[in-house]
Amino acid sequence: MNGNAHIKAVYAEIRRRNQGEVEFHQAAAEVLDSLGPALDRHPEYAGTGILERLCEPERQLIFRVPWVDDSGTVRVNRGFRVEFNSALGPYKGGLRFHPSVNLGIVKFLGFEQIFKNALTGMGIGGGKGGSDFDPKGRSDAEIMRFCQSFMTELYRHLGEHTDVPAGDIGVGAREIGYLFGQYKRITNRYESGVLTGKPVAWGGSHVRTEATGYGAVYFAEAMLATRGDGFHGRRVVVSGSGNVAVYAVEKVHALGGRVVACSDSSGYVVDEDGIDLGLLKDVKEVRGARISVYAEAKPSARFSARGTVYDVPCDVALPCATQNELGREDAVALVKNGVIAVAEGANMPCTPDAMAVFQEAGVLFGPGKAANAGGVATSALEMRQNAARDSWTFEETEARLASVMREVHAECRATAEAYGGNPEDYVLGANAAGFLRVARAMTAQGVV
C-alpha cells in the first residue's frame, strides 16, 4: 500500500471492518494507491472524512430470496444491494446473478462503480447488487419466479431518483423484463427509469446491449491513437464470450482488426480467420453451449481446455470475462508476445501484479473504471430518454456513447498528467479524476 499515513490508516480500517472481503480490499487498495497526489493537492478533503465516508457504503441490504423450482422444491438464495454513494446522483449499477456472488464481491463492484460513474460525467451515484442464484440450467419459468421474489424485497429501495439497477453477469434483457414487471405490479407505477437495460420495444435504449463492448474498443482505440496507431490490421484477443465480449469482437472487426481468440470458463478457441460473430452468438446466446462447440463447427478453429486465452500472441488484449481472470503469468506471456495495449472490458479482470507488469513494460493499460464505462454511460442515456419520454436512433445514441468514451479517455490522460506527470498512467488518471468529482460533491453536501 502506497500513500501517506492517512491513506494507510483508512486501508487498515477497511480490512479490519470488512474481514474476508478480499475483492473489496483489492478494489479499495487500487483506488487508495492512486490518491496520494490528489490528497496532497487538496488537503481540504482530509478534514471532512472524505476517504472514510467513501469507503463505507451508505446502505447495505442483504435479504432472503425464496422461490419454488419446477419440481416444487423450495429454494433459498441470498440477495444483495449495496448503495455505496449518492453524491452525484441516484445509486446506479448492475445486478449480478452468479454462484460466486457474496457481500465482498458486491462491495468491490459497487466501489468501482462510484468512480466509473463519476468519470462518465452523467450524474449517477454508485451501487451494485445481485444474488448467489445460478441461472445456468434453470428454466424460463424458474428465472421468472426468482426475479419476482428478488424484486418483491428490493422494490422498496428502488426508484428512478433513488436507485436504478441494470444488468451484469447473469442478468440480461429477459431478467430486466421480469424484474420490471414485478416492480410495476407492486408499485402500480410505469416507472420506466427505475431499471435500465430494458428491451428497446418498451423503454430501452438503442446501443445499451452493445455499449460495454463497443465502449471498451473505443477506449482502446483512443489509447492507440495517442501513439499514432489503431485497430486496423491488428491481432486481438478477447476473453469471455458473454455480452461484453461479443460486442467487443463486433467493434474490433468493424474497425479493421481481427479477433483471433475468445474464451469461456471451460477453455478458449483460436480462429486465425477471425472469430465468426454469427457463429459465436449462435453457440453462446442461442444454444447456450460451451465454446468448444464453436471449434467443432468451424474447420479453421481449434479449442483448448489447457492454458489461457492470453497464451495466444496478440497486439491488443481485451479482458471481458470476470474479476482476476488475468494474472501475473498471463501478463508476462502477453508482454513477451508483444502486446501493445490492454483495455479492461470486465470489472477488475487484471490482478494488481498483472497491472504492474503492463505498466513496467510500457503497455497502454486502460483500467475497467474507464474502459468499460460505456455500459453504464448508455444506461444514463436510457434514463435521459425515459425522463423525456423520448427515444433516440441507434446512430444518435452510438455517437453519444463514442463522445462519452473520448471524454473519459481525455479526462484520464489530463488528470494523470496533472497529478503524476505521466499521461499514460490511466490507472492514476481514472482513479484520481473519479475521486475528485465525487469528493467535490461530497464536500459541498456536508457530512452526510
Binder of ligand GLU out of 10, 45, 90, 92 (CB under 6 A): 92
For ligand GLU, give the closer residue by CB, 36 or 172: 172
Near ligand GLU by CB under 6 A, which window of 69-77, 88-96, 322-330, 424-432?
88-96
Cα–Cα separations (whole angstroms), residue 228 to 209, 221, 223, 286, 361: 30, 10, 9, 39, 19
Near ligand GLU by CB under 6 A: residue from 10, 105, 144, 166: 166
Q: How far is the CB of 376 from ligand GLU (least distance, A)?
A: 4
Instruction: State yes or no: residue 192 binds ligand GLU (CB under 6 A).
Output: no
Is 343 an interacting residue with respect to ligand GLU (CB under 6 A)?
Answer: no
CA distance 175 to 147: 7
Query: What three-state secondary structure class fits 135?
Result: coil
Could you tell me if 97 and 169 are in contact, meaning their C-beta atoms sit under 8 angstroms apart? yes
**Residue 76 Cβ, how far from ligand GLU at the closest point, in Å?**
25
CB of 208: closest distance to ligand GLU in angstroms? 8
Q: Are 343 and 220 in contact (CB under 8 A)?
A: yes
Q: Is 122 in the site for ligand GLU (CB under 6 A)?
A: no
Strand partners, 237: 261, 317
Q: What is the DSSP letter of 77?
A: E
Classify 137 as helix, strand or coil: coil
Looking at the Cβ atoms of 163 and 264, the one nearer to ligand GLU is: 163
- Residue position matching grid coordinates 446473478: 97
Among 23, 30, 168, 411, which residue sits at the site for ligand GLU (rule: CB under 6 A)? 168
128 is catalytic: yes
- The amino acid at 375: G
Half-sphere exposure of 221 (CA within 13 A, CB side): 22
Position of minimal CB gap to ligand GLU: 94
Of the ranges 75-83, 91-99, 176-184, 389-397, which one interacts with ligand GLU (CB under 6 A)?
91-99
93 binds ligand GLU (CB under 6 A): yes
Residue 93 or residue 319: which is nearer to ligand GLU going by CB? 93
Contact 131, 78 (CB under 8 A): yes
The smaller minimum CB distance to ligand GLU, of residues 77 and 378, is found at: 378
Residue 206 Cβ vs ligand GLU, minimum distance, rounded to whole Å: 15
**Phi and psi at residue 323, to the nearest 5°:** -65, 145
Question: Which one from 92, 107, 116, 128 is the annotated catalytic residue?
Answer: 128
The yes or no reply on residue 179 touching ligand GLU (CB under 6 A) is no
Among 195, 376, 405, 427, binds ligand GLU (CB under 6 A): 376
Output the nine-digit C-alpha cell for 103: 457481500
Options 99-107, 179-187, 349-357, 374-382: segment touching ligand GLU (CB under 6 A): 374-382
Nearest CA among 152, 167, 34, 164 for reference residue 96: 167
**379 belongs to the binding site for ligand GLU (CB under 6 A):** yes
Q: How far is the CB of 167 from ligand GLU (least distance, A)?
A: 6
Contact 340, 316 (CB under 8 A): yes
Out of 89, 94, 319, 349, the residue judged to bind ligand GLU by CB under 6 A: 94
Tell me the C-alpha distance between 118 and 99, whole Å: 29
- Is 163 one of the binding residues for ligand GLU (CB under 6 A)? no
Stated as kind and residue range, the H or E segment containing 126 is strand 126-131
Residues 6+ apart with CB under 8 A from 400: 381, 392
Closest C-alpha among 328, 361, 365, 359 to residue 344: 365
Question: Smaller CB distance to ligand GLU: residue 89 or 93?
Answer: 93
- C-beta of 444: minimal distance to ligand GLU in Å? 25
Output DSSP code: residue 446.
Answer: -
Count of residues touching ligand GLU (by CB under 6 A): 10
Our CB check for ligand GLU shows the closer of 94 and 429 to be 94
Give the 3-state secondary structure of residue 194: helix
Active site residues: 128
Q: Could you list the residues that contact ligand GLU (CB under 6 A)?
A: 92-94, 166, 168, 196, 347, 375-376, 379
